[in-house]
Amino acid sequence: MRIAILTSGGDSAGMNAVVRAVVKTGILKGCEMYVVREGYEGLVRGNNEHAEQQAKNVAAETEAEVEREVKATYEAPHGQPAVNLLHNLRFGDGELLKDGTCEFVGGRTLKGRYIVRVGWDDVRGWFSQGGTLIGTARSMTFKTVEGREAAAHNLIREGIDALVVCGGDGSLTGADVFRREWPSLIAALKEKGLVSEDQAKKHAHLKIVGLVGSIDNDMSMTDLTIGAPTALQRICEAIDNINSTAYSHSRAFVIEVMGRDCGWLAALAGVAGGADFIFIPERPPTAMPWEDDMCAQIHRHREVGKRTTIVLVAEGAHDSDLNPIKPEYVKDILTERLGLDTRVTTLGHTQRGGRPCALDRILATHPPGSRSNRCLVAIHGRHPFIHDRFAREQDRASTSNGGGRTGKPFPDPPTRAVKAKDYEKALELRGSEFKEILDGFFATSMLAEESAKLPKEKRMRIGIIHMGAPAGGMNAATRAAVRYCIRQGHTALAIHNGFRGLLDGNIDQLSWLGVDAWTPRGGSELGTNRALPSTDIGGVAAKFQEYNLQGLLIIGGFEGFTALLQLEEGRKHYPAFHIPMVHLPATISNNVPVTEYSIGSDTSLNALVDACDAIKQSASASRDRVFVVETQGGKCGYIATMGALAVGASLVYTPEEGITLDMLRRDVRFLKTRYSLDPPGKSEGRLVIRNEASSSVYTTTMITKMLQEEGGSLFDARSASLGHTLQGGIPSPIDRVRAARLSLKCMVFLEQHHNRLLGQKHRQAPPESASVITVQTSSVKMVPVQEMVKHADMVNRRGKTAWWFGVKHLEEQLAGKPQFLGLHKSPEYQASVSGYAKM
């Protein structure tokens, strides 16, 4: 089968990672892979005959060169590399696309050639590049029947059977129109004598798969689009930088962000950046005139001593009558009515640019289960498929529900609801998570009047404590909890330095303004350590009673889970523990059982990606160097595994699988094979990711020395330990938003169980009142701590199972390890892949 992939519409970070994953997976499945330059415009233009013949000659020469290298340098007693992989190793055009010299006149060029065959090495290193290296264009020609007829002719000329499209709503709509018209286009080409009878029969159906690449996250029925997390990160970086200068001058800033029809970027940036007010299409200001409401809220913030004011405006913002709201107008209102020194900043296309963050690289490659692998499965069907974050295949019927527009297979119902002024419907269609995040923004950004707070008899004294190692997002979670407490009339008590601080009486009350700047701060503002309540359980109970704690929020990792378990078991002996208690997982290791994600793990992955990109650059500059990179994570391999997938590591070692001598032998043989097949003088620097607890015998130093010895003239080796750099730094926007959302849910949980206990004469808290908040697929669930124990490996401090356990097999496939070693057809390998597919 011949498969082509194109990127279309507005570019988004992660598109190159999509191309890389699809190309490599296609080759592994025995397909011939092509990229289409300049989106649909490239399909229309196709290849001219002279350029195409030149390309075929060069491809033949390159393939012969690879075969000569194999015969001259490769000797393997345990199997030969996969034949299809060797025949598709490289065709030489990848460098032209990556270097931007594809239209260069005077040397090798892609001029006149828009449908380009690519090999395994042609897409190496692409995942770390922003934008789309194969280009994108909004083709007006493709919108005409004549343009689509030319595109069909060019695909048939190249013998291409299927098309993968990465783009937004317009791109995927164009793909479906192309598919529906395909029979009539073939008939027209046949009538004109441009295709033969055999060609018409062979290409009777066009198979299409769509992947959503859009920074706005505006596609219905998908939770997260490729490119949206990176765009959010760019916005929050700008807000963090602007906040410092705003504080210096006590200024107000009105910041315009992208989002013509969807307020996802503005809403999440409002939460992650600590904005004072936001304007989004789905929820225009309810109070009219809205100018009075905005000024009143910002005036209250200034009255309590806030020196900065941040207002975010989505580019498609409007009032309840659909009248546009522009940043300059908002600036004039703040200046004239409140006397604030106000500036306007339009972020523009800086939101699209730059390297993709870790989450976008992973989304493009693995949404648990190979996205590209599922694409190839879907290609065998006749209907277009769109793959969302969780790899649910959506066919045309399922993506058209509520559509109403003829020929519009991927509609955005929220946009139509907004135009109809049905804003509640628009929010409902955006999904519960979007609505919760938006409600969370208002809950944490507004100062409530005394009359809006709970009755005094329902108000609580809630302790907030950090446990274990620091993780990005701990402070954001604390800020959200404190502001919710103040809004409801509760007293938020900060317990400094963990349970040691509690025993020392290191407790104080937090204020609304005091936590204002905590969102972008890394580490733990309260202080944290690994001391457990069991250190002095009776003393802990006495402090609970002394400070009259009526609820407890524990923010931390596996230690937090263990602490909650000890407190719940302590209820048998200490009445002070009969209060609602909840644990919010926050750890870079992501080792808390049941939950799929812990606060801080995304920040840690970004830190790992930044470090490994720099290390790989150094390794590549040396041409023949392997870096063994050691990561934290304890006895949980999440950071190592997902980090390896995000940086394109050649090998990864985790505690779950361990390290054996046979494994090291195979890995040395793999690296030798890989380097022997690199073009002379153009070897790629490669990474080996090793979790710190993978083996007590085969240490990072030992593996590095082994590779130095075994590499010989092929490659050298160095090591790098990332250590505590993975814990520090500015929290990622995803971690900040998750922290705020989950923290608010924890506070509601504490309130609900407190109200149930109020009517009891002798307070007896039920087991479910001590729970852990967990993320399970796309839902959030409270799990009693005693139930959590059943799923925990208490010795190794991790869950017994996890959704990411099989990712190592995917990472090995994308590195080509089984194929280069000739192991891909062995019964052992097939059994392991089969087991992964069932997860």
Structure tokens, 63: 């393939």
User: If you write DSSP's letter for every residue of 562-630 in order, what string do you get?
Assistant: HHHHHHHHGGGT-GGG-S-EEEEEB-TT--SSS-S--BTHHHHHHHHHHHHHHHHHHHHHTSSEEEEEE
Query: SS3 for 720?
Result: strand
The DSSP code sequence of 330-353 is: HHHHHHHHH---EEEEE-GGGGT-
Residue 44: closest CA among 11, 18, 16, 6: 6
How many C-alpha atoms does 564 have within 13 Å on its Cβ side? 37
- Tokens 């009445």, residue? 575
Taking the C-alpha atoms of residue 631 and residue 113, their distance in angstroms, rounded to an integer, is: 44
DSSP-derived secondary structure for 235-294: HHHHHHHHHHHHHHHT-EEEEEE--SS--HHHHHHHHHHT-SEEE-SSS--SSSSHHHHH
CB atoms within 10 A of CB 199: 17
For 142-200, the DSSP string reads GGSHHHHHHHHHHHHHTT--EEEEEE-HHHHHHHHHHHHHHHHHHHHHHHTTSS-HHHH
- CA 98 to the chain's CA centroid: 24
Residue in 422, 525, 438 with CA at minimum distance from that of residue 474: 525
Distance CA 830, CA 531 (A): 45
β-strands 716-721, 625-631: how paired?
A: parallel
Instruction: At 733, list the tokens.
Output: 């926007």
Coil, helix or strand at residue 648: coil
As given in the structure block, the two tokens for residue 600 are 């801080």
C-alpha of 81 from chain center: 33
* Residue 662 a catalytic site member: no
511-to-305, 516, 739 alpha-carbon distances in Å: 12, 9, 19
Q: Coil, strand, or helix at residue 533?
A: helix
The region, left, alpha or beta by phi > 0 then psi within -120 to 50, assigned to residue 419 is alpha
161 contacts: CB under 8 Å, gap ≥ 6: 1, 2, 3, 203, 207
Pairing of strands 792-793, 798-799: antiparallel
Tokens of 634: 């304890």
- Using alpha carbons, select from 704, 699, 702 the residue that is nearest to residue 687: 704
- Marked catalytic residue, from 216, 276, 360, 412: 216
- Within 8 A by CB and 6+ apart from 182, the residues are 152, 205, 206
Task: Tell me which amino acid residue 333 is.
Answer: I
- Alpha carbons within 13 angstroms on the beta-carbon side of residue 671 total 33
Identify the bridge partners of residue 775 per DSSP, sorted by sequence position. Answer: 780
Q: Are 214 and 16 in contact (CB under 8 A)?
A: no
Give the whole-angstrom CA distance, residue 726 versus residue 612: 12
Task: From residue 99, give the alpha-carbon distance in Å to each of 96, 102, 135, 603.
Answer: 5, 8, 13, 30
Using an 8 Å Cβ cutoff, are 126 and 17 in contact? yes
Question: Which positions are annotated as active-site residues?
Answer: 216
